Structure 1
Amino acid sequence: MTINQLYETLNYVDASRENRLKYAKMVLDDMSLFPKLIEIMFMVNDPISSRAAWVFEYVCNDYIYGLIPYLDVFTKNLKQVYLDSSIRPVAKVCEMLAKEYDSKHNKTIKKNLQAVHKERIIEACFDWMISDQKVAVKAYSMTTLYLLGQEYDWVHPELKQILQHDYANESAGFKARAKQVLKKIKGA
């Protein structure tokens, strides 16, 4: 399938879980589509990029290791994503990477996620934390920053300051996640 054919196929992706899973399975069954999906996802001015991001999230949820050869492309382009419906899945994948990186069981992501990748993810997550983003994006960013911040001594103090500053004005969902993260920072 060419990139143009995949682009046309993504027109049929909708917000339903079943539909996203269907197209994610299509990519998982033919991983040669994955770099094309990433390329479409980073066509940030095109609404189809959001549909690609939805499928990308589901592919990564099922097989995060498929992202390893594309970590450089993914992290270089994070800051370009600006459509609300694209940022959420991209932030979720950042959280998946951070959780897998922090995992004691498998060292594959730890071995491949280089300092430059982590720094780009941290920068994007801080940008999302201080900009007008939906709660889910901020929640994923908090977790990512906490986990990756275990290696960077400046991250936790910055994150703590943002969480404490924004706490009173944010939603219940934000407060719940912020409370968890602040508790972990204190315990660290």
Structure 2
Amino acid sequence: MTSDEFYKELSYITAARDDRFQFAQFVLNDMSLFPELIKISFMVDDETSFKAAWVLEFVCLEYIYAMIPHLDFFTNNLSKVHFDSSVRPMAKICSLIAERYTSKQPNPIKNSLESKHKEKMIEACFDWMISENKVAAKVHAMETLFLLGKETHWVHPQLLDILHQDFHHQSAAYKSRAKHILNKMKKLKNL
């Protein structure tokens, strides 16, 4: 499949979960398409980019390790993402990476995620937290910040400030996740 054909197929995807899942399976069955999927996901002024980001999220849910050779490109371009429909899947992918990185189990992300990648993810997540993004993006961003903040010590105090500042102005879903994160931070302090 050529790049143009792949792009055209992505443009037909709808928000339906089955559509996104089927296209992700298509990519998982032919991982030579993965670099093109990432590239299209970061064509940030093109509406097909958010459709690619939806699929990228589903691929990463199945096989996050596919992202390893692309961590530089992924993290260097996170701050450019601006469509609401793209920010949420990118924030989710960040949280998946952070989960694997902070896992007690050995895995390839632990050896591949460098401080420059973490810095870019932290920067993007803080931007998403303080911008007018939807709750789902903020929830994934706060999870990433909590996880990466376990070793980057300035992150938790900054996250704490944002959560306290925004708490009363946010939705019930935001408040619920914020309470959860605040409790996890409290437990870390008590250890």
Q: Structures share a fold, TM > 0.5?
A: yes
Identity %: 53
Q: Distance in 1 between matches of 2:177 and 2:32?
A: 37
Q: 1:180, CA displacement in angstroms?
A: 0.7
Partner residue in 2 for 1:58: 58
Q: Distance in 1 between matches of 2:129 and 2:93?
A: 16
Where 1:54 maps in the other structure, the secondary structure is helix
TM-score, scaled to structure 1: 0.98
Q: What are the equivalent positions in structure 2 for 1:65-76 lying under 5 Å apart?
A: 65-76=65-76
Q: Distance in 2 between matches of 1:77 and 1:111?
A: 21
1:182 maps to 2:166: no
Q: Distance in 2 between matches of 1:106 and 1:94?
A: 18
Where 2:153 maps in the other structure, the secondary structure is coil
Q: Distance in 2 between matches of 1:90 and 1:72?
A: 14
1:155 maps to 2:155: yes
Where 1:106 maps in the other structure, the secondary structure is coil
Partner residue in 1 for 2:34: 34
Where 2:104 maps in the other structure, the secondary structure is coil
Q: 1:100, CA displacement in angstroms?
A: 1.0
Partner residue in 2 for 1:109: 109
Q: 1:106, CA displacement in angstroms?
A: 3.1
Partner residue in 1 for 2:96: 96
Give the superposed CA RMSD: 0.7
Q: 1:107, CA displacement in angstroms?
A: 2.4
For structure 2, the residue ranges without an aligned partner over 5 or more in a row are none
Where 1:132 maps in the other structure, the secondary structure is coil
Partner residue in 1 for 2:86: 86
Aligned residues: 188
Q: Distance in 1 between matches of 2:155 and 2:35?
A: 31
Deviation digits for residues 51-93 of structure 1, max 9, x if unmatched?
0000000000000000000000000000000001111101100
1:119 maps to 2:119: yes
For structure 1, the residue ranges without an aligned partner over 5 or more in a row are none
Amino acid at match of 1:165: Q
Q: 1:185, CA displacement in angstroms?
A: 1.0
Q: 1:186, CA displacement in angstroms?
A: 1.3
Partner residue in 2 for 1:19: 19
Q: Distance in 1 between matches of 2:186 and 2:161?
A: 13
